[in-house]
Structure 1
Amino acid sequence: MRNASNNEIKLLRKLARKKYREKEQRFVVEGERAVEQVLENGLVEVETVFVVEGKAVSDEWSAFSASIEADVFDEVADTENPQGILAVCKMADEISTNELREKSGIIVATDAIQDPGNMGTILRTAAWFGAKALIAGKGSVDVYHPKVVRSTAGATGSIPVLSGELEEIFTELEANGWQILLLDGGAESVNLRSVQPAEKTIIVVGNEGNGISESLLHSKRKKVRIESAPGQDKVESLNAAIAVSIALWGLSDMVIK
């Protein structure tokens, strides 16, 4: 196995920052199982697998693997226990609004979701339930942030992503028959179980602290809530990723095909 070049190590350092991930159109996957899953599912192109010096790799990986000294590896890794393996992958092309117009099923949209763990779980859950895409609204954490990638547990690239201004995207998609459901626990919301979703349905989850942005609360958009157990008054709200998971499960039989 060859040694990693200085340029490759410099790139690994740069990819910790969003602006360089966007510039290079590359991101990093860390951990043995996550790298294995990304290689197995073939949803994103793996350019190089980097391993700590002395760690063995399978013959099928050796052609595109390189070793890094232990102290340098610990420096470029994002986690405290990186398991001695990481991979540099190419970002998948974003899906366009034009492509989404013609689809049907469920899309998940995030309105300024900021916690990487939540975003990673939302991506993984959306892919599990067969959602057609994820729309990452302005203010949402980068879907290729190292902690997001780690939270997807190897599912990065398993669902198309569109990033942009939600109001602009929603207006265009609504003109093509997409229904918007806003996850909201307020008194004006209707029980999710009472909703008959359209064949084209977008589930929107709001910011962890502030909920759905006021600018998205149009009268034609339905606010829906997930009911708690009768008499439950000790928990104020659900975690954002959990709320999306329950909504996808509740609507999947009716919409996702």
Structure 2
Amino acid sequence: MSTASNRQQTLLRKLNQKKYRYKERLFLMEGARAVQQVIANKAIQIQVLFFDKSQRYWEQSDWKTEVDQFETATLSQELFMEVSDTDTPQGVLALCEMPSEVTAEKLAAQSGLTVALDGLQDPGNLGTIIRTAGWFGISGIISGKGTVDMFHPKVVRGTAGATGTIPFMNGELSEVFTVLEAEDWQVFLLDSGAQSQPLHQISSIKKGVIVVGNEGHGLRDELKTANRSSVRIPSPVGQRNVESLNAAIAASIALYDLSGKT
């Protein structure tokens, strides 16, 4: 197996920066199980598999098919640690092509559930939401202003291989919602306020958008219009000892509850 070229090594270093990911339309997927899941999903095109030379994953029997199927190269342990997003990386890294975004009009033509993110900043939260959305088979993900990049290494790692399996777009949420609402989509704003409707009171949904806000500041006021429903996840014990749920946990509960009503 050949060593990664100087050009490849330079590219891997650059892809930790968002501007280079979007310039090259490439991102990195790290970890044996995540990479194998991406291969199995067949939703993402892999250009090259890189292996940590010291770990020699390519010699393991369960990687033989992948080694024969893709272009492969090795990295020194030092370089693998440099481009890795973890302190103790597994010795497999996939260079992947970034999938194309869908349009608001294409999302509007679907049905079921879509998740919209309003300034969500924690990569771990976004990765978990994408992973959960993949489990429930939602129609799409809309990444609004201020939301962390969907192809940030920590986000990609958190999806556990679900990256690319869900149609997605970046855009101003108010504008996207206008397109969706014209096609009878209902917008549900996750809001812990006392005036919000308990989630379990929603009886049925044909086309619904679950909107998750910023971890610290919640949803922007401009999204809270009269034709949109603010919904909350009530605590079963009444008196709560914490102010609110984690954003990813709240989104997961909402997906579980509403997916059974579509």
What is the TM-score when the length of structure 1 is the normalising length?
A: 0.96
Where does residue 65 of structure 2 map in the other structure? 60
Aligned 1:136-215 pairs, distance under 5 A: 136-215=143-222
Q: Distance in 1 between matches of 2:107 and 2:80?
A: 40
Q: Distance in 2 between matches of 1:203 and 1:42?
A: 27
For structure 1, the residue ranges without an aligned partner over 5 or more in a row are none
Q: Distance in 2 between matches of 1:169 and 1:193?
A: 26
Q: Pick from 127, 135, 149 the counterpart of residue 134 of structure 2.
A: 127
Write the letter of the residue equivalent to 1:232. Q
Cα deviation, residue 198, structure 1: 3.0
Where does residue 3 of structure 1 map in the other structure? 3
Where does residue 27 of structure 1 map in the other structure? 27
Report the more deviating stretch, 70-79 or 44-53.
70-79
Q: What is the DSSP-based 3-state SS (H/G/I as helix, E as strand, rest coil) of the residue aligned with 1:254? A: coil
Task: Work out whether 1:49 is the aligned partner of 2:76.
Answer: no
Q: Distance in 2 between matches of 1:230 and 1:84?
A: 46
Q: What is the DSSP-based 3-state SS (H/G/I as helix, E as strand, rest coil) of the residue aligned with 1:238? A: coil
Can you list the C-alpha shifts for 1:95-116, whole angstroms capped at 9, x where unaligned? 1111112111000111110000
Q: What is the DSSP-based 3-state SS (H/G/I as helix, E as strand, rest coil) of the residue aligned with 1:246? A: helix
Task: Work out whether 1:73 is the aligned partner of 2:66.
Answer: no
Where does residue 113 of structure 1 map in the other structure? 120
Write the letter of the residue equivalent to 1:75. E
Where does residue 87 of structure 1 map in the other structure? 94
Aligned 1:90-105 pairs, distance under 5 A: 90-105=97-112
| Alignment: residue pair count | 255
Cα deviation, residue 40, structure 1: 1.6
Q: What is the DSSP-based 3-state SS (H/G/I as helix, E as strand, rest coil) of the residue aligned with 1:150? A: helix
For structure 2, the residue ranges without an aligned partner over 5 or more in a row are none
Q: What is the DSSP-based 3-state SS (H/G/I as helix, E as strand, rest coil) of the residue aligned with 1:162? A: strand
Write the letter of the residue equivalent to 2:65. E
Q: Distance in 2 between matches of 1:243 and 1:153?
A: 19
Write the letter of the residue equivalent to 1:5. S
Write the letter of the residue equivalent to 1:3. T
Q: What is the DSSP-based 3-state SS (H/G/I as helix, E as strand, rest coil) of the residue aligned with 1:148? A: helix
**RMSD of aligned residue pairs (Cα, Å):** 1.1
Where does residue 259 of structure 2 map in the other structure? 252
Alpha-carbon contact 2:121-2:147 (below 8 Å) kept: yes
Alpha-carbon contact 2:57-2:91 (below 8 Å) kept: no
Where does residue 17 of structure 1 map in the other structure? 17
Cα deviation, residue 78, structure 1: 1.8
Q: Structure 1 segments of 4 or more deviating over 4 A?
A: none
Q: Distance in 1 between matches of 2:208 and 2:57?
A: 47
Can you list the C-alpha shifts for 1:114-134, whole angstroms capped at 9, x where unaligned? 000000000111111111001
Task: Work out whether 1:242 is the aligned partner of 2:242.
Answer: no
What is the TM-score when the length of structure 2 is the normalising length?
A: 0.94
Write the letter of the residue equivalent to 2:188. L
Cα deviation, residue 197, structure 1: 4.0
